[in-house]
Amino acid sequence: MITVAVPLGERSYDVLVGWGTRHRLTEVIPVGVRRAAVVTQAAVGVEVDPGVEHQVWTMGEGEDAKSLATVEELCRAWARWGLTRTDVVVAVGGGVVTDTAGFAAAVYHRGVPLVHVPTTLLAQVDAAIGGKTGVNLPEGKNLVGAFWQPSAVLCDTEVLDRLPPREYLSGCGEVAKYHFLGGTDLLDLPLDERIARCVAIKAEIVGSDERESGRRAVLNYGHTLAHALETAGHYDLRHGEAVAIGLVYAARLARRLGRIDDARVDEHRKVVGGYDLPTSLPRGLDHGQLVGLMARDKKATSGLTFVLDGPRGVETVAGVDERHVRDVLDEMVAP
Ligand SMILES: NC(=O)c1ccc[n+]([C@@H]2O[C@H](COP(=O)([O-])OP(=O)(O)OC[C@H]3O[C@@H](n4cnc5c(N)ncnc54)[C@H](O)[C@@H]3O)[C@@H](O)[C@H]2O)c1
């Protein structure tokens, strides 16, 4: 088992990565907790034993269930059960569960302790780490949320065995992102070390900028187009697949702006393609709509804003000319 610390002063916590780490739940439940509210989904099929009185709530599937309505249902059920601020919420599932249950934990009684047991590759390397929680609105993804750090995260590699192949692949989209944030060795590592290395990269970035006042935005590498694709395509692309396309798009845009050379664009294609992820844009999308959606991105406070590679590494770039944004979309359509 590998332990990675997320360094946040008094709110620091450990992420345990390895085979069977879900069985360490009783050890990481905060002291004094009497009850645990376990939130999961039917398809997850992973049981946990918090070692205290507990009830399991099963939420719906997919981005539609990541909603204020689900948060209300959870909070009302916890209120009826008598969950208190000295109890704990345990989220067992992919990013949809950890984001939704995490947000409910952040707002119920103005905050109850939280432990994540992420069960998808994507949630283990990304969604469950760093304290971002939230839900979608019909107007867009992740528009309502809170920073709420867990007390511990258990990344159990055993449960990944039953993950559908497409979900595993989707997680690889976020792993590919870390290649460009200092993880050039990732492809050579065995799975548990690879996950731990991604967690360590994210932990270091979150530790330096918990509330995304600057540097943390690099974790959005590839995500500006990814979020637009997910909204425009009504979520038929998995998140990591959209990120994969977004990474190649960001590289091509950076090339057009003279920030990187052709070899670096090729490296993006090779890394993303090396995980068998898509490197071109699906046909039939309305590029005007994509540009409009990207202009509404949370980072876009002064014109079209992207996280782009360049001579100083990956950084946020504001005021990108719409013409370039549009041209690179047109160039990237699958033949
Ligand atoms: N908070 C953050 O920092 C952050 C970062 C990245 C992504 N996210 C969010 O994460 C979400 C995507 O998460 P995801 O890709 O994990 O999708 P998901 O949570 O929808 O899970 C994918 C599917 O796999 C099933 N599943 C989960 N674990 C399983 C297992 N072990 N075996 C079999 N089936 C299992 C789920 O029930 C679901 O059907 C998005 O909403 C995205 O916005 C959040």
pLDDT in tens, 138-179: 877 888 999 999 999 999 999 999 999 999 999 999 999 999
Judged by DSSP in three states, 220 sits in: helix
Instruction: Report CA(263)–ligand 1 centroid distance (Å).
Output: 33
Q: How confident is the model at residue 235, as a pLDDT? A: 60
The catalytic site residues sit at 110, 132, 174, 202, 212, 216, 220, 223, 227, 239
Return d(Cα 127, Cα 150) in angstroms, integer: 12
Instruction: Report CA(30)–ligand 1 centroid distance (Å).
Output: 25
Task: Say yes or no: CB of residue 123 within 6 Å of ligand 1.
Answer: yes
Contacts 24+ apart (CB under 8 A), 204-212: 204/7, 205/181, 206/6, 206/8, 206/129, 206/130, 206/131, 207/6, 207/7, 207/8, 210/8, 210/130, 210/131, 210/147, 211/147
Task: Say yes or no: CB of residue 120 within 6 Å of ligand 1.
Answer: yes
Q: How confident is the model at residue 232 (pLDDT cuts 50, 70, 90)?
A: confident
Q: How confident is the model at residue 191, as a pLDDT? A: 96
Q: Decide if pLDDT at 300 tops 80.
A: no
In this prediction, residues 67-86 reach a mean pLDDT of 98
Would you state the torsion angle of the CA atoms of residues 65, 66, 69, 74, taken in this order, to the nearest 10 degrees?
100
Q: Decide if pLDDT at 234 tops 80.
A: no
What does pTM read for this prediction? 0.95
* Alpha-helix residue ranges (DSSP H) falling in 180-300: 191-208, 223-232, 239-256, 262-274, 287-295
In this prediction, residues 306-312 reach a mean pLDDT of 96
Task: Say yes or no: CB of residue 198 within 6 Å of ligand 1.
Answer: no
Q: How confident is the model at residue 223 (pLDDT cuts 50, 70, 90)?
A: very high
